[in-house]
Chain A
């Protein structure tokens, strides 16, 4: 296939192909993917068609005598056929390229949405320049990244549970059905405590900093989460005042006792954490002038386990508070209490967004 006329037509066909590609594939400068893509996407029947269209060329090529007698017509025919072929291939590649663009666009929109959602929750987004989550060795703490993801899902599920509970309360369903929903709501909080325990093992400072929560929620944090007695105060106001499901005197007394017990326990744990802070500072600061810090770091790391224990105790206190409330309140009151809690945290999250968006 090396006669001058075929060379010429082939070169022309190739030129036309490049011309087509350069017109709409400028953005893929060094990237051969559209071409590769198109060749993989081109369906089988098109390939067969290619072969079929090649046949006239192959039929014409070998007979040199024909070529000499019908030179102009043959050349034109061949060129036309090759042009058609090139144009069709070009159209196929363009189609594949556009499809790829469309799916990339969709993916980008999805990622942007996720990022926005994560930002609203104040999740620490590690960027390339941020040393925070990549640590000294450049590795990502997978326990923490998976916690962040799980927490995102937790919040979504929380919103869904609250909606379901709200509908149920307004719809006057039976106490038994409502009880099931209340249990789901409580278990959802207990799940969070389990997740937090794993995260504390991965990085206790991260967990206790509350950076995984929104800024307003963090403002009210006590040892890595909400302060039980503060929540009880909120609940007392929300359940008693509206008079919808008022507490009877006995219940009111029990909730007040629970709040006082919780306050005493919180004070004790707070003082314990302060002592640990002092102790940790002493470990880190010991022998500063020597320059090496190996032994001091080992002593400090031992204290991290103690910190983990405090976080665990704080979450245990939260869990106990919720369980005691569920015991003291009727199912309907507990449902309203959970709704109130859910709304309270939702508002704190909204306040965080508003605070961040202030001009």
Chain B
């Protein structure tokens, strides 16, 4: 889907979310803690939301939200983000986008 492809290639950290999804909220909090402000797209508030959901699933996400892209590349859902973080691989990916404190 064009819209999704365009959004994922945006610079920085992109998070597809739903306003009602608390797990998405948790991922948001994690990025904040790591000093990153992701670009958040709430697909339940988007008129093309359903199509976006399908497109995200086709890209390989088990659940459409939360879906995290860093520098245009798909990282995955909550599982993948957590595994990456505990393995020490998330922070290096975020470094270019971390807010200067």
A323 to chain B minimum Cβ distance, whole angstroms, is 8
B68 to chain A minimum Cβ distance, whole angstroms, is 13
Of A145-153, A175-183, A239-247, A257-265, the one contacting chain B is A257-265
B72 to chain A minimum Cβ distance, whole angstroms, is 24
Q: Which residues of A contact B87 (CB under 8 A)?
A: 320, 324
**B26, CB-defined interface residue at 8 Å:** yes
**A37, CB-defined interface residue at 8 Å:** no
**B9, CB-defined interface residue at 8 Å:** no
Structural contact, B33 and A261, CB atoms closer than 8 A:
no
Structural contact, B22 and A267, CB atoms closer than 8 A:
no
Structural contact, A275 and B82, CB atoms closer than 8 A:
no
Structural contact, B86 and A324, CB atoms closer than 8 A:
yes
Structural contact, A306 and B86, CB atoms closer than 8 A:
no
Q: How many residues of A contact B (CB 8 A)?
A: 25
Give complex CA distance A264, B91 in Å. 12
**A273, CB-defined interface residue at 8 Å:** yes
Give complex CA distance A290, B91 in Å. 50
Apart from A267-B33, A268-B27, A313-B26: 7 A-B pairs, beta carbons within 8 A: A262-B86, A264-B34, A264-B85, A267-B29, A271-B25, A316-B83, A320-B86
Structural contact, A321 and B33, CB atoms closer than 8 A:
no
Q: A246-286 toward B: CB 8 Å interface, digit per residue (1/0)? A: 00000000100110011011011101110110010000000
**A192, CB-defined interface residue at 8 Å:** no
Tell me which of A267, A272, A279, A316 has the highest count of chain B C-beta atoms within 10 A of its own C-beta: A272
Which residue on chain B has the smallest CB distance to residue A307?
Answer: B22
CB within 8 Å for A265 and B22 given contacts A272-B29, A313-B79, A316-B79: no
Structural contact, A317 and B23, CB atoms closer than 8 A:
no
Structural contact, B88 and A265, CB atoms closer than 8 A:
no
Q: Which residues of B contact A321 (CB under 8 A)?
A: 86
Q: Show the binding face of B for A, using Cβ within 8 Å.
A: 20-23, 25-27, 29-30, 33-34, 78-79, 82-83, 85-88, 90
Q: Show the binding face of A for B, using Cβ within 8 Å.
A: 254, 257-258, 261-262, 264-265, 267-269, 271-273, 275-276, 279, 306, 309-310, 313, 316-317, 320-321, 324
Q: Which residues of A contact B88 (CB under 8 A)?
A: 254, 257-258, 261
A192 to chain B minimum Cβ distance, whole angstroms, is 18
Which residue on chain B has the smallest CB distance to residue A267?
Answer: B33
Give complex CA distance A313, B80 in Å. 11
Tell which of A261, A272, A273, A310 touches B85, judged by Cβ atoms closer than 8 Å.
A261
Number of A-B contacts (CB under 8 A): 67
Which residue on chain B has the smallest CB distance to residue A262?
Answer: B86
Q: Which residues of B contact A271 (CB under 8 A)?
A: 25-26, 29
A69 to chain B minimum Cβ distance, whole angstroms, is 102
Tell me which of A313, A321, A324 has the highest count of chain B C-beta atoms within 10 A of its own C-beta: A313
Structural contact, A272 and B86, CB atoms closer than 8 A:
no
Structural contact, A309 and B86, CB atoms closer than 8 A:
no
Tell me which of A265, A273, A321 has the highest count of chain B C-beta atoms within 10 A of its own C-beta: A265
Q: Which residues of A contact B23 (CB under 8 A)?
A: 272, 306, 309-310, 313
Structural contact, A265 and B85, CB atoms closer than 8 A:
yes
10 nearest CB pairs, A to B: A272-B26, A268-B30, A276-B22, A268-B29, A320-B86, A268-B26, A272-B22, A275-B22, A271-B29, A264-B33
B18 to chain A minimum Cβ distance, whole angstroms, is 11
A259 to chain B minimum Cβ distance, whole angstroms, is 10
B20 to chain A minimum Cβ distance, whole angstroms, is 8
Q: Which residues of A contact B25 (CB under 8 A)?
A: 271-272, 275
Structural contact, A258 and B86, CB atoms closer than 8 A:
yes
Which residue on chain A has the smallest CB distance to residue B24?
Answer: A272
